[in-house]
Structure 1
Amino acid sequence: MTTQRARHVGYGVWLIIAAVGGWWAAFQLTLEKFYVLQHPGETSSCYVSVMLQCDKNLGSWQGAVFGFPNPLIGVGAWIAVLVMGVAVIGGVRFPRWFWLLFATGTLAAFVFVCWLIAQSVYSLQTLCPWCMATWAVTIPTFFATALHVVRNGALTRSARARERAGRLMVWVPLATILAYAAIIAMAQLAGLDLLGEVVALIF
């Protein structure tokens, strides 16, 4: 297997991992929404505290921006990412327009997640565990895809740009960690003890 081929397989593997994690989080949120609808007044299983919960997010207008629960978008969209990951590993060659369409989708997901993060932290003043799981995989998926469409020539034919994008791929984990740190900082500045709540949830 060539080095370039191995790098593309690595990207495909990540898409599968992200898709499984993102789909599971969306599915769990969907179940929580059904539970809350069926049992008015009761708290969902992901309710940990006033600050760390799913209930307030799911019951808000931000939790159904398009008129239906946001998690339903993830249930469908992550399947597409999963299929894409399998196709990449299998060596399927997609036309340029298809890659650009996929990249546009990941960009839209990233922008939507950024908006939801801001709404959750500053407007709702809560942190939804399953929402955070979705954020955790959406952010690096966008970073990796943005570089991949440059690396594979879908966004540009420049050999220099493609080479640089390939080199920058190794920095995706660091960029992701910095993005997580920014979210934590936002939460702390907004008065939400994100670190404390997450530690309490784990231990």
Structure 2
Amino acid sequence: MATLQLTHAPVLNSSAQLLILPVNTAGVLLDPILTRTKRLYPDNYQRYYRACRDGSLEVGSCLLHKRSREQAGLAVSSNGNQPSYIANLVISDHPYHPTRLRWLTAALVDLQQQLIPLIRYQGIRRVALLSRPLIFNHPRQDTSDESSLENLVPLDWYADCLPLLTQKLQDLPKLRIDIHLPKDITL
């Protein structure tokens, strides 16, 4: 059984072996932490951006990236605290469109299937999940059409996201998952 722990600690300072980043299929990262990961993990961003541009990335999927280790330079000293893997959880088709429950469910199922071999054969035990893109996903479109209003409502953290994360990730064996929340969300 996986242990899910809610925390307010900065996600980029965690000692997780796998970092889960909620992204979109447009290749545009607006969240400040996601923008910072472009510079911190350029190999992951280049692979993610290429997949967005060639159309191979679908909403509701997970793009898992094994990071290449740096062998020389100043980054070697901090290389031990960085994740070995980055999972790009594709939860939306555009940064201004909110996450839909079916997209998040499909992406979590895909993530779960990709995590089993990593846990079993690579010894992955600590995972960090950035939750802010799941929480602060406000629509910026015209909501005058009643039929489209249903699809533009952001997911509620307590009613939608947290129960779904618990349901889909709880059965993973021998894993600690730190869910990094913004400070204004109560633990």
Q: TM-score range by the shorter chain?
A: 0.3 to 0.5
TM-score (norm 2): 0.38
User: Which is helix-richer, 1 or 2?
Assistant: 1
Higher relative contact order (CA 8 A, sep 6+): 2
User: Which is strand-richer, 1 or 2?
Assistant: 2
Query: Which structure has the bigger radius of gyration?
Result: 1
